[in-house]
Amino acid sequence: MKRIVLPFLLAVLPLHAAAQPAPVPPLEAVRASFRQATLIDHARSDAERQQFIAYSNHGEAAIDVLLMQLYLAVRLPEEEVAHVLSLFRDDGTWSDVDYADFSRGGWKQTLHITRILALAKAYVNPEHPYYQNPELSRVLHAAIAWWTANKPVNPNWWHGEIGVPKKLAEALLLLRDELTPAEIAAARPVLDKAKFGRTGQNKVWLASINLMKGLLYDDPALVAEARKQMGEEIAVTEQEGIQRDGSFHQHGPQMQFGNYGLAFAENLSFWARVLKDTPYAFTQEQYDCLTLLVRDGLSWTVWEGFMDPSACGRQLHVDGLRGKGLTVAVTRRNMGLDGYKPVGGRYYPCSDYGVYRTRGWFASVRMQSARTIGFEYTNKENLLANFSADGVLLLLQEGWEYDNIFPFWDWRMLPGVTAYEDGRPIKQAKDQAGTRNPSAHVAGTVDGSVMTTTMEVDRDGLHALKTNFFYPDLIVCLGAGIRRSRAEISRITTALDQNLLVGDVRTGGNWAWHHDRGYISLDGAQIEVSTALQEGSWEQMAPVYKGKEASGRVFKAWIEHDPAAVGSYAYAIRPCCRAGTFKRYARSRRLPVVLLNTEQIQAVSYRDDIRAVIHVPGTYRIAGYEITATSPSFCSIRSGRPQLEAMAI
């Protein structure tokens, strides 16, 4: 027995027990980790740092919490801090903040709180020129005192329960060592408005605020409960939150990648970093679930630093695509996924959304079905969105093709969409039912190097079956059963694309070319083209932009349909193609061949690869092969071998 016990004791007893440092109390370890993670400068260069600041509008982009957060993700330059200090007044306010504003969306008063946090980060950072600067200290204490004394209240619950407490708690936690008990007590009524509850990202925000409160007030029970509630949302669910396919839902079964989903991932990736190696760390299962959202969800939506507009939800804001792209970059760095660039196709059945990526270009399809919600008008934002989930097909090469185009987009000719005109303004439904597509016949699949998506549009008196085949060098788009059921519909169009005009446009009747991408009709239909100056207002994107007009020259290509007849279309888009090359291609025999394009079946042959979508069960003859489908199905024929895949609808 002695020969067994003695070696064991020698193995576990330290050789120099007296030299071991005393263990750090758990909350103190978390506070130290919080400070370290908060002070990270996520800009990789001075130029990128200026982008963070510019896209946040110097912290004033209150309409979008993710854009505002960019201001807090970098170490502010010395001149930026000096400028902010120069605007501070003796009464504890800033001269350029509109303290009379109480907008529900972009509440301008929140810039006061944003600046407190931004300046606190400079004050406590030993690497910043303003580290422990006396004047900065005076401003911080005065600004905090003004807010905790006046307690401005916005009619939108979110600001009072989440937006303000979140930033104030962060700032107080950074300044904890030099705040007086009276200052901390004065802030408590503001922080206590953040109570546990709600769902999805709202629940995570509330939990994170309470976790910071626990660290601030040295309350381990509150920290433990907040960590528990935060972790409850890091799970795959059929309700609001992370879906099994890596997409994210909020406000019902509605894809919210670039809105709530990105905020969820950014917030929790930060806390994953803070809590790592502490008793409050996320479990491996929770970490893997968060990785699913970041790696297999959000990372697919960003191309060349720009987020896919269709992934942004209702938040089509000024510089929003670039700002959200930077936020995804921050999130990936927190998760150790920096530099990850997926290639291939990925379809998100929970959200009726597909992404196709090659080394040279990106495309996405945004759809909606009876299972999902396509869009929303919350806070009077996104008022022109009626067609925005009816099969929008966006193509990015440079990344900026649709950057800030939204106020002067023709919203009846969104790329890929078959839409109508009925002599009225674009419909703004008064209830959720009026925004939805009642058809369940919406699906997608990825088979090898090809992604296929299909959608039955059946809304507002317009019907269309829309199918897309994505190949590594080509997109083939087929439409069938295009018809109206309302006599008021006087015009029906299918838009091939609508993006910012760059350089020359060339046309040839049934083909058009612009900015290294070509469009060709496969059924002989005329392709109409416009390069006109288009005008609009940012106010239709969000009320905070009242009076902000915008204009730009736009390339727009579309096909006209006879509203009195049943119509169809067949066209192909070839990305990354020079004008001369595409002109020769348009006249060659290398074009895809449309085999069938009816309401029962749509099929195409391209380079000995046959793909079909069977809408109605039955027996069909496709290129000499007899195919029987007992349910709506995807079909592929390669190397003479037909394969069927039942649609998940």
What is the predicted pLDDT for the residue at 556?
Answer: 98
* Length of the chain as a residue count: 649
Q: Looking at the predicted structure, is the pLDDT value of residue 393 above 90?
A: yes
391 contacts 417 by C-beta, under 8 angstroms: yes
How far from chain centre, in Å, is Cα 456? 25
- Tokens for 488? 């008021």
Q: Looking at the predicted structure, is the pLDDT value of residue 600 above 60?
A: yes
Least confident of 96-100, 177-181, 266-270, 376-380: 376-380
Q: Looking at the predicted structure, is the pLDDT value of residue 496 above 60?
A: yes
Q: Looking at the predicted structure, is the pLDDT value of residue 296 above 50?
A: yes
- What is the rounded distance in angstroms from the CA atom of residue 337 to the CA atom of residue 466? 35
2 pLDDT tier (thresholds 50, 70, 90): very low
- What is the rounded distance in angstroms from the CA atom of residue 63 to the CA atom of residue 55? 12
Write the DSSP assignment of 138-192 as a string of letters.
HHHHHHHHHHHHH----SSHHIIIIIHHHHHHHHHHHTGGG--HHHHHHHHHHHT
Arithmetic mean of pLDDT, 171-192: 96
What is the predicted pLDDT for the residue at 287?
Answer: 96
312 contacts 324 by C-beta, under 8 angstroms: yes
What is the predicted pLDDT for the residue at 62?
Answer: 76
What is the predicted pLDDT for the residue at 21?
Answer: 56
344 pLDDT tier (thresholds 50, 70, 90): very high
Q: Looking at the predicted structure, is the pLDDT value of residue 3 above 50?
A: no
Q: Looking at the predicted structure, is the pLDDT value of residue 345 above 70?
A: yes
Q: Looking at the predicted structure, is the pLDDT value of residue 129 above 90?
A: yes
Q: Looking at the predicted structure, is the pLDDT value of residue 6 above 70?
A: no
What is the predicted pLDDT for the residue at 9?
Answer: 30
What is the predicted pLDDT for the residue at 605?
Answer: 97
Arithmetic mean of pLDDT, 452-473: 98
Q: Looking at the predicted structure, is the pLDDT value of residue 640 above 90?
A: no
Average pLDDT, the chain: 94
What is the predicted pLDDT for the residue at 61?
Answer: 85
What residues does CATH 2.70.98.10 cover in the chain? 344-592
544 pLDDT tier (thresholds 50, 70, 90): confident
339 pLDDT tier (thresholds 50, 70, 90): confident
What residues does CATH 1.50.10.100 cover in the chain? 26-334
191 contacts 171 by C-beta, under 8 angstroms: no
What is the predicted pLDDT for the residue at 639?
Answer: 85
What is the predicted pLDDT for the residue at 13?
Answer: 31
What does the pLDDT look like over 40-49, one tens digit per residue?
999 999 999 9
What is the predicted pLDDT for the residue at 433?
Answer: 82
Q: Looking at the predicted structure, is the pLDDT value of residue 7 above 50?
A: no
State the fold for domain 344-592.
Answer: Beta-galactosidase; Chain A, domain 5 (2.70.98)
Q: Work out whether the CA dihedral 207, 211, 217, 220 comes out positive or negative.
A: positive
State the fold for domain 26-334.
Answer: Glycosyltransferase (1.50.10)
- What is the rounded distance in angstroms from the CA atom of residue 223 to the CA atom of residue 211? 5
Arithmetic mean of pLDDT, 591-602: 97
- Which uninterrupted H or E stretch holds 69? helix 65-70
Q: How many Cβ atoms sit within 10 Å of the Cβ of residue 427?
A: 16
613 contacts 629 by C-beta, under 8 angstroms: no
Arithmetic mean of pLDDT, 406-411: 98
Q: Order of strands across the sheet with 462-471?
A: 442-447, 450-459, 462-471, 474-484, 567-575, 517-521, 511-514, 505-507
For residue 118, how many C-alpha atoms fall within 13 Å in the half-sphere facing its CB?
Answer: 29
Give percent above pLDDT 70 in the chain.
Answer: 96
- What is the rounded distance in angstroms from the CA atom of residue 288 to the CA atom of residue 81? 39
Q: Looking at the predicted structure, is the pLDDT value of residue 572 above 70?
A: yes
20 pLDDT tier (thresholds 50, 70, 90): low
What does the pLDDT look like over 351-364, one tens digit per residue?
999 999 999 999 99
What is the predicted pLDDT for the residue at 16?
Answer: 40
